[in-house]
Structure formats: C-alpha cells, structure tokens
C-alpha cells in the first residue's frame, strides 16, 4: 500500500488501496528460458493497471499544492490506463475528469473510461506537444483555457517517476528477497522503468534494467546516443508504449538497454502465451514476451538469474486487438 504523509491525510481522508500487487513465478517461461522468471502482475490494482500508481500520485500532488479547487476537472492525455486512474480517483475525491485519447485506443478502454465517468475526446495521435492534433497538445490547451482545470501531464510530471520509485521498485526488491538480477518492462512515458530502475540500482548497481519499445520508436536511439534521430518516422503501434519524442518522465540514467519488437511478433506472442498458459496478457505485456522470444539468446540468462517482467495491465482490455484471431503455440511462434 502507498505511504502517506500527515499533510496528505488531512486533505485526503480515504486513500485508495494501490500497490502490493503479487509477483508470480512463471514456470512455463522459466523452463523455456532456463532461468527464474517472475511476473509482476499490476492488473491487481483497482483500475487493473500499473498506471493507478502515478495517477494517484499526480492527483495527490495537485490537490496538496492547491493547483485545483474542489469540483474542478483533471485533464490527461492517455492511451487509456492512466486516464482510468485519473478518472477513478478524481471521481472519488469530488472532481471531474476529461481524458484525451488517440484514435488507436482500444474500444474496451474507451468503454471503461466512460463507465468511470470520464469525458472522452478522441485525437489523431499522441505525438507530443509539438503536434497540434495530438492528445498532449489538446489536453494542455483545454486545461489552459478552462476554469479550474488541471493537466496532470504524465509525460512531464515527476510524480510519474516518483510513484514507481516509492512503491513498485521497493515491492519488487522485497518480493524477490533482493535476488532480482534483471528487470524488463515496456517503455512509453518512461515513468515505470525510470522509477523502478532508479530504486533497484540503488540497492544493487549491477542489476540489469531493460526496456521494450515498438520498432521505429526513438527511445532506444536516445538512450544510446543521448540525441533525437535526425529523421523521425511513425513507429509500429503497440498500445501504451513507444514514442517519437522524449518524455520528461523518462530518465535514461538507470536504463541499461532498450530492445525493439514488431507489432506482428507482439500479437503472435499474446495469442501464443494464451494458448500455452491460459493467461490473457495486455499489449505491452505481450511486447515483453516478444522481446524475450527474439533476444533471449543475447541476454545470456543463467539458471541462477532472477528476471522480473512487468505486466502493466490485463488482456481483457485488448480482446478486439489481440485475441480475435486463432491462436498458435509459442513452440511455433
């Protein structure tokens, strides 16, 4: 459960139960890759997503700094999961929410957002503040022109990193008894890998912090070169991860490497994992599995290693995108 200061308790009397999500050893993957592979199941959060953590931290921070008055509107640009966290907590504490999503957002997520009471606006893309038609630009413009509206701005809000540094990282360290040697997760805003990576590196500097993004995303290039590519092309669509700009919530310092995977391989692995384990994993979770499938040999995993995969949400939010085709076994992937 998240920790709260005395000042926070004064302003928010009832804090949501977030975190302490389970870690499960996946015997199937452990056997397949000859290592100890655990899955951090973030879909056990109340909004079924890892994004509940930064959503709450950002709302808590805005209320405590008097950035918004009771009854106001929290605004966010989101692929769906952060938006749901914002919508849930805003409603719980007497606020409204308006969420800007791109047209690639799954219908399942849009339905859940609307059920949570959020006002939805669909935008052309999520290409950052420099694009007038992006979710980020439209969310910022809306918050700047409407009374008592606050843009939580997960892409540039330090609370995004802080939430995972304060909660997800310590949980993983404790749940693995400090034996973790590798951490692998999808990279979108960068908050998860930055916060978890920073905490784990403080405990053990040689722990490997690895990210996954879609083919064509620029964060791998930025991590290696500390610069943005001269030519930026559209990246393959894997909902929740990948960027054509560098978010302020991405700290490359603790990150050792970022791998790239294709959308096709990701979809194949989602269906294959369902066939072999009966588990529906989300889009970026499947990207992590696709990363293992493609790069495991070069990762040089040993039987004594402990690799933790972050599954940030559940496959039930991507039925139409991932599970509408006939699945096939991982053995044939």
pLDDT at 17: 84
pLDDT at 129: 92
pLDDT-based confidence at residue 10 (cuts at 50, 70, 90): very low
CB 135 within 8 A of CB 102: yes
Fold agreement (51-151, 168-317): yes
Residue that has been written with the tokens 């022109």 in this structure: 145
Residues classed as catalytic: 51
| CA pair distance 207, 315, nearest whole angstrom | 29
pTM score, whole prediction: 0.91
Span 224-257, pLDDT tens digits? 999 999 999 899 999 999 999 999 999 999 999 9
Residue 8 pLDDT > 60, yes or no? no
Q: What is the four-CA torsion angle of 238, 241, 242, 244, rounded to 10 degrees? A: 110
pLDDT at 332: 30
Q: Domain 168-317, CATH 3.40.50.1100 — does that match?
A: yes
Q: Where are the domains of the chain?
A: 51-151, 168-317
pLDDT at 7: 42
Residue 159 pLDDT > 70, yes or no? yes
Span 264-312, pLDDT tens digits? 999 999 999 999 999 999 999 999 999 999 999 999 999 999 999 999 9
Candidates 152, 154, 148, 88; CA nearest to 118 is: 88
Candidates 252, 330, 329, 327; CA nearest to 292 is: 330
Half-sphere exposure of 225 (CA within 13 A, CB side): 10
Q: What are phi and psi of 187, to 5 degrees?
A: -125, 120
- Percent pLDDT > 70 in the chain is 92
Residue 145, token pair as written in the block: 């022109």
Q: Please report the DSSP string for 246-291 in residue order.
A: --TT---TT--EEEEE-HHHHHHHHHHHHHHH---B-HHHHHHHHH
pLDDT at 325: 62
CATH top-level class of 51-151:
alpha beta
Span 223-233, pLDDT tens digits? 999 999 999 98
| CA pair distance 34, 12, nearest whole angstrom | 47
What average pLDDT does the segment 148-176 reach? 98
pLDDT-based confidence at residue 2 (cuts at 50, 70, 90): very low
| CA pair distance 88, 261, nearest whole angstrom | 32
pLDDT-based confidence at residue 329 (cuts at 50, 70, 90): very low
Span 50-89, pLDDT tens digits? 999 999 999 999 999 999 999 999 999 998 899 999 999 9
| CA pair distance 28, 5, nearest whole angstrom | 41
């Amino acid at each position: 459960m998240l920790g709260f200061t005395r000042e926070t308790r004064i302003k928010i009397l009832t804090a949501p139960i977030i975190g302490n999500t389970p870690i499960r050893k996946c015997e199937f993957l452990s056997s397949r890759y000859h290592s100890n592979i655990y899955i951090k199941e973030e879909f056990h959060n109340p909004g079924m997503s890892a994004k509940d953590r930064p959503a709450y931290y950002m709302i808590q921070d805005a209320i405590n700094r008097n950035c918004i008055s009771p009854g106001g509107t929290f605004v966010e640009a989101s692929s769906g999961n952060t938006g749901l966290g914002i919508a849930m907590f805003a409603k719980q504490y007497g606020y409204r929410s308006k969420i800007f999503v791109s047209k690639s957002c799954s219908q399942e997520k849009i339905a859940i957002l609307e059920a949570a009471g959020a006002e939805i606006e669909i935008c052309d893309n999520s290409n950052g503040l420099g694009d007038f038609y992006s979710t980020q630009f439209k969310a910022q413009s809306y918050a700047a022109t409407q009374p008592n509206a606050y843009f939580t701005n997960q892409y540039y809000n330090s609370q995004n990193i802080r939430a995972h540094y304060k909660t997800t990282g310590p949980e993983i360290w404790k749940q693995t008894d400090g034996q973790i040697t590798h951490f692998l997760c999808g990279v979108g805003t960068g908050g998860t890998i930055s916060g978890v990576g920073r905490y784990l590196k403080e405990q053990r500097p040689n722990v490997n912090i690895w990210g996954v993004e879609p083919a064509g995303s620029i964060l791998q290039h930025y991590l290696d070169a500390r610069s943005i590519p001269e030519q930026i092309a559209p990246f393959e669509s894997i909902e929740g991860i990948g960027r054509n700009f560098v978010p302020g919530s991405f700290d490359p310092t603790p990150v050792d490497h970022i791998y790239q995977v294709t959308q096709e391989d990701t979809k194949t692995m989602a269906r294959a994992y369902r066939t072999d384990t009966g588990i529906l994993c989300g889009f970026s979770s499947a990207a992590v599995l696709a990363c293992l499938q493609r790069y495991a040999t070069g990762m040089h995993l040993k039987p004594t290693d402990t690799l933790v995969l972050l599954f940030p949400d559940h496959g039930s939010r991507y039925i139409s995108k991932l599970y509408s085709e006939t699945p096939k076994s991982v053995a044939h992937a």
